[in-house]
Structure 1
Amino acid sequence: MPVTFGQPFKAGDWLHTTQGLVAQVGGATIPLQADEISSHRDGSARFAVLSAQLSNVQPGEARIINIFPGAKVNSTPSVPASPDWNLELEAQVYDANGNVTATLVAQPQSQLVTQIASTTGRRLAGAVATEYTVALPFKNKATGTPHPHLSARLHTRLTDGGQRIRTDVVMENTRTWTASPGNITYSFAVKRNGSTIYTQPKFTHYHHARWHKVLWTGSLAEPKARVRHNMPYFMASKAVWNYDLNIQIPASVLDNDYSRLTKARADQAALGPMGNVMVEPYFPMTGGRDDIGPYPRWTVNYLLSQDSSALEVMLANADAAAAVNTHYRDEATGYPLDLDRYPNVSITPEWSSPVLPAVVDGTTIWTPDVAHQSSFAYVPYLVTGDTFYLDEMMFWTAWNAATPNPGYRGAGLGLAIDNQVRGQAWAMRSLGETYRALPDNHPRKSYFDNRLKVNLDWYAKVYPLNPSAATLYPLNALPKPDQQDVTGPWQNDYFGIVMAQLAENNEPNAYTTLAWISKFNVGRFNAEAQGFCTAYAAGYYFSTRNSSNNPYTSWRDLFQANFPGETCNTGMVIAGYPASSDGYAASARAALASAFNGGITDAGSTYAKWRAMTPAMDADMSRNPTWAIVPRP
């Protein structure tokens, strides 16, 4: 039975340039196929897509796979020259009156045969699994004319000598420069050797969106295996924040989420693959939400439980995010829109040069933004290793960079600054995730690496390395971009959480900026002797300047300006919803723990103090562990 999965690695554990990997399974040692390797800054492996061939696995049996460095050996692909794949994709396109206007087809077999012979478009390559990405347009069945917008990408994985074929069928309406982009209404079918194996009833495919469906074909059955990671090691790799593994997610919480997923699928059936599932379609919606945080609540639920239903919920929501109209693929490169080629492009027409083609019939359920954006696809990619989720990360990161006004984002620099502070945090999170996930040999690796470095350099120069910063920001709080005399402590916490993860992964200048902002993020919890009551540290917004527009230079002045007449005492009501797992007091906990993990030593004791001041929150963390980041051992 073949199994393929993603695996992060601690820095220094696997020197992949000189070592291979082996697995010990039930007393037997077998080679591991490793592909799509991404390296830490020190050159050791950070992440890889691993494939193994397991023998004599019985139904319901659990196997422990222990992974070790071993001798480096070649894993030679074994695939037939012309696999028994023979898929045909067919779409019936409808007009606004419900009439069929065209039948579109895509026949990828000959292209796969060509790619096998030339080894082009090959992603995985080894004795266990070999995967090709076959990209092709749809053509009018009657005339042979390619459709201007609808296309398919088939991530085709052959195992067992081609006797099992896994095809991730990705349908895209993502072209950037082709005239008249818009929604497309169609029904869809996949046929194999003339027999229909999958159908999707009529629905409307939104512009600049995509969806996918995984199909297994071949003479051998789909290998139905579940991979559960060693989560302490997974966390220790620093691929993700260090969540509290002592938290047990109750079955009732997982069951409720799965019930919500089932209901959402039923309620949104008419939308087909464009349904939002549990993702908030109106991103600017205020208030606490399941999708807002370092990771969405459903993703943390999976990390802490690795429950099968939690996995399905996480992947369903990641798939739903693909339906958001944020997916712009450049026809010239085959990759998401980039600012090297178009430094002054913007998704907003009045800011863009050149201007993107006007959308025709573009109504969707979605209103995306950066300030309320989730990490949709990163953890799904880490656990599955699927190309679909890797591409999703690139699309979202590219959209984040291309959305702001070029005049404010530094044109081709793509600076995250043209956002709310929380938007800057989430844009930097997306950028860091994409850079870390992309394989070293990916054509876009250096592009996203440069974007990350440019942004981190900018923050370092404007704040910690700026000689004027001490005068402009004496307490090291990031101001609201649209209101320079106000700061949002919780938004500073979000920014600190992301910067800490970048610092943990040794990204240049990340620690420099983290240390600077930690004067505010950590310092405000330790300034009671200087006149700032700790109970109010997790506030909503603070005024940072006096009536003469001069910044407050002491903790006492900041406190008195915002809480006049208050004096610190043990009976003070703690701000920021201290009993709730999703309030500002909770995100402050996450920021303190993250800062410690990023190298700010006094953040550890500050976290312990703040946790002791907010004990009622702990009981609520199992209901919602979104902010349950803890100091690393």
Structure 2
Amino acid sequence: MPIHRVAAFLAPVALAASLATASAQGMLRAPTSPAAKAANDVVGLIIENLAAKPLPASPITFGQAFLPGRVPAKAGLIARIDGKDVPVQVDAKTTYPDGSLRMAVLSLIAPPMAAHAKAPVMLATAATAAGGAVDLARLADDKGFGLTVDLTFHQEDGSAAPFHLDAGPLLAKALAGEKPDYWLRGPIASEIRFDAPVTGSFHIVFDVRAYADGTTHTDLQFANDYAMQKAGGAVKYDVLVKEDGKIVLQYRNLVQFQYENWHRTLWSGTVPPVNLARDVDYLERIGVIADYDLAAGAPAAMVAEEAKQMGQPGFGAPLATNGVTQYMPMTGARPDIGPTTRANAIWLLTQDPMAAAYALWQGEAAAGIPWHFWNREAGTWLNTDQNPQIWADPRGGANGLTQQVDGKNNGWAPDTAHQPDLSFVPYLFTGSRFNLDELNAQAAFSIVSTWPAMRSGAPDSTGPDNVIFGNQMRGGAWSLREIDEAAWANPDGTVEKKYFSKVMDDNWRWLASQIPALTALEGEAHGYVIATFQYDYALAPWQQDYFSSSAAQAAKLGNRDARAFLAWSTNFLAGSVFKLGHDSVNYVIAVFPHRNPAIGQIYWNRDKNGWDYAEPLKNWRDIEENTKRYGPSNGSGWARSDGDYGQLAMLALAGIQSVVPSEAAEKAYEWLQKSGAPYTDANSLHHTPEFDIVPRPPQS
């Protein structure tokens, strides 16, 4: 009977394995993947049978990124498992300029495995496999598929409105369409998407997959995200999903506000109880993730705590938060804030199945955040190509949403300056279209929720999509992170690829163009971006560190303007360590002459070309004296640094070294390691794995 993949098997099976490991060694590290030996070897991974019984041959689909040139254009792949070559279906999603594969969704039929067995796998290039694609039409014609969805909507007047959907005819209609929306299509697996409008802004998205072995896999998204429609709002309903007349999913009295979604995966048979341990070092070399300290791993106690949370009542329910902070503006250190979330970092560092389950559940929680604005007419997320002045804010007026986000009742307060990176790592590992949807929705939100007067008001800006100018630096950091990841992840030739790539390029190009003006303005201490969120006399260096992490990611993925910015910012990020000493690791650095602290924040003055601030101090000595005069200054100690500021400075300096050779960044990083600044020791970093990023020389 089809059951939800993560909830069904990972919790009970992986919990025992994970806790056993935790008690044995106290920490978890990603296992070493098989090393490439033959000329056509590409990358290794490990398949693990999590069950206490033998596993028959099972279908597996997952995402995989590749180094440039390793999988040439038109080349295929095989998987070497136990000395045998297993065919691999390659559904290419993105390519490098030379045509070689950048990212693909891979499908294979894994051979039988003994109980708790682990099998090393080597992906290697081979001739493209021949053979026709799995025919989804057999599902539309097969009465055995029989997937039905019954909804009962509870109206305000107390009446009930039933709604019935039969997936078979909907699938047949999608296949007969002019342009069937395939995600996978090959001899091992085929997958197609179709959408069923229901009522108001509510609809159901089906992603139906059939494997060559007869297994089916269906993703259901219960989406209340149509935007700019005449009708919308919250819905209260019951849902009953049957397959072959058997109940496979049932919930009652769900309350789903507009712009919130939830998702479930159904299998036609036993869910393959497998974990894929990936070569994370390989992904770091590509630059698709930050350079986490793989040698340190992550504390097993953290994985055990995640397991405990997953066992709590309500965890994993539709629209559950699953450990994600609902009030995002909440300040202070949070495990979901950073270059990625702590959950994703633990998954990357350990490749533990329990860690994977928890991170995937947080990816499910992303669906429930009311930042989903789907433009049904355009067939994509609401964006500035459709309306340059769109503003998803109650103050949007004629350019606002037709129905506003119900922030009073839905429990969420989304915020670009504190948004967690919930979906990119899950998409990278699973290749799931659902996770890509979530990444795209968040990236679009990062743009359309930014005040259009600032988006389009930047001096010398090239379009209506600037998310840096006038933003908090942390807001610019996390918005660009989502946009850059969406630009990288979306399949070549799609509307989303074109749009997010344009926004990414516009923003980094604009920032690089501002370097001469900022250099002249800031003098010998140049290298920081002046943002709206800063005290009357000071800037927040830790927000510059946040921003540098996004710049490092963009630069590693090939953006030259981000690289130029990161090289320029090194003067401040590294120089402040040597010139300001203990005050470089601080909540604020007083770079402006002191004026009236009651003013609170300084905002952009567009009448003076965007840089009309109090003239910043242009040399390090004056900045240090000003910081001591108006404070708060650390002096010769660390009294003002009892936070994660030292960790953030270290990750910024590590990121620089991964992109541009910098002796200054290297020495500054080493000084901080030995400085005694709070939480910069190895043990503290080990317990905040989302910040445990280490230097890696470029191209290593």
TM-score (norm 1): 0.90
Partner of 1:144: none
Deviation sequence 1:167-217 (CA, Å, 0-9, x none)? 011110001011242111111111123332211222201210100010111
Does 2:658 correspond to 1:597?
Answer: yes
Partner of 1:31: 87
- Superposition deviation, residue 254 in structure 1: 1.1
Deviation sequence 1:415-448 (CA, Å, 0-9, x none)? 1124211000001100111111111133321111
- Superposition deviation, residue 300 in structure 1: 0.6
Which of 293, 296, 311 matches 1:262? 311
1:345 and 1:80 map into 2 onto residues whose CA distance is 39
Amino acid of the residue matched to residue 387 of structure 2? Y
Partner of 1:142: none
Aligned residue for 2:565, secondary structure, equals helix
**Percentage of identical aligned residues:** 27
Partner of 1:120: 180
CA contact (8 A) 1:40 1:505 kept: no
Does 2:267 correspond to 1:216?
Answer: yes
Point out where structure 1 has 5 or more consecutive residues left out of the alignment: 139-146
Counterparts in 2 of 1:355 and 1:89: CA distance versus 1, 3 Å: same
CA contact (8 A) 2:197 2:204 kept: yes
Does 2:242 correspond to 1:183?
Answer: no
Partner of 2:460: none
Amino acid of the residue matched to residue 230 of structure 1? D
Aligned residue for 1:542, secondary structure, equals coil
Aligned residue for 1:397, secondary structure, equals helix
Which of 554, 558, 562 matches 2:627? 562
Listed as ranges, the matches of 1:190-589 within 5 Å are 190-217=241-268, 220-263=269-312, 266=313, 272-359=317-404, 363-410=409-456, 413-417=464-468, 418-462=470-514, 464=515, 466-467=516-517, 469-472=519-522, 475=525, 476-483=527-534, 485-527=537-579, 532=580, 534-547=581-594, 549-564=614-629, 572-574=636-638, 577=641, 583-589=644-650
CA contact (8 A) 2:370 2:405 kept: no
Point out where structure 2 has 5 or more consecutive residues left out of the alignment: 1-57, 458-462, 596-613
Counterparts in 2 of 1:555 and 1:166: CA distance versus 1, 3 Å: same
1:113 and 1:588 map into 2 onto residues whose CA distance is 56
2:640 and 2:92 map into 1 onto residues whose CA distance is 43
2:101 and 2:523 map into 1 onto residues whose CA distance is 39
Which of 104, 112, 129 matches 2:163? 104
CA contact (8 A) 1:2 1:159 kept: yes
Which of 651, 664, 668 matches 1:606? 668
2:86 and 2:681 map into 1 onto residues whose CA distance is 46
Amino acid of the residue matched to residue 626 of structure 1? E
1:284 and 1:229 map into 2 onto residues whose CA distance is 34
Partner of 2:114: 58
- Superposition deviation, residue 589 in structure 1: 0.8
1:148 and 1:168 map into 2 onto residues whose CA distance is 22
Partner of 2:51: none
1:128 and 1:493 map into 2 onto residues whose CA distance is 45
Aligned residue for 1:553, secondary structure, equals coil
- Superposition deviation, residue 328 in structure 1: 0.5
CA contact (8 A) 1:206 1:274 kept: no
- Superposition deviation, residue 4 in structure 1: 0.6
CA contact (8 A) 1:178 1:357 kept: yes
1:492 and 1:588 map into 2 onto residues whose CA distance is 9
Counterparts in 2 of 1:80 and 1:410: CA distance versus 1, 3 Å: closer
Aligned residue for 2:693, secondary structure, equals coil
Larger mean Cα displacement after TM superposition, 32-41 or 163-172 = 32-41
- Superposition deviation, residue 18 in structure 1: 3.2
CA contact (8 A) 1:397 1:427 kept: yes
Which of 91, 104, 107 matches 1:48? 104
Deviation sequence 1:83-125 (CA, Å, 0-9, x none)? 142211111111357x342012222211212334557111101
Aligned residue for 2:647, secondary structure, equals helix
Amino acid of the residue matched to residue 65 of structure 2? P
Aligned residues: 604
CA contact (8 A) 1:181 1:360 kept: no
Partner of 1:620: 684
2:123 and 2:397 map into 1 onto residues whose CA distance is 50
TM-score (norm 2): 0.82
Larger mean Cα displacement after TM superposition, 584-593 or 48-57 = 48-57
- Superposition deviation, residue 127 in structure 1: 1.1
Counterparts in 2 of 1:14 and 1:268: CA distance versus 1, 3 Å: closer
Aligned residue for 1:226, secondary structure, equals strand
Amino acid of the residue matched to residue 110 of structure 2? L
- Superposition deviation, residue 54 in structure 1: 2.0
- Superposition deviation, residue 43 in structure 1: 4.3
Aligned residue for 2:186, secondary structure, equals coil
- Superposition deviation, residue 458 in structure 1: 0.9
- Superposition deviation, residue 70 in structure 1: 2.2
Listed as ranges, the matches of 1:66-215 within 5 Å are 66-74=122-130, 76-79=132-135, 81-83=137-139, 84=142, 85-96=145-156, 99-117=158-176, 120-138=180-198, 147-161=199-213, 163-215=214-266
- Superposition deviation, residue 600 in structure 1: 4.3
2:353 and 2:121 map into 1 onto residues whose CA distance is 19
1:184 and 1:50 map into 2 onto residues whose CA distance is 37
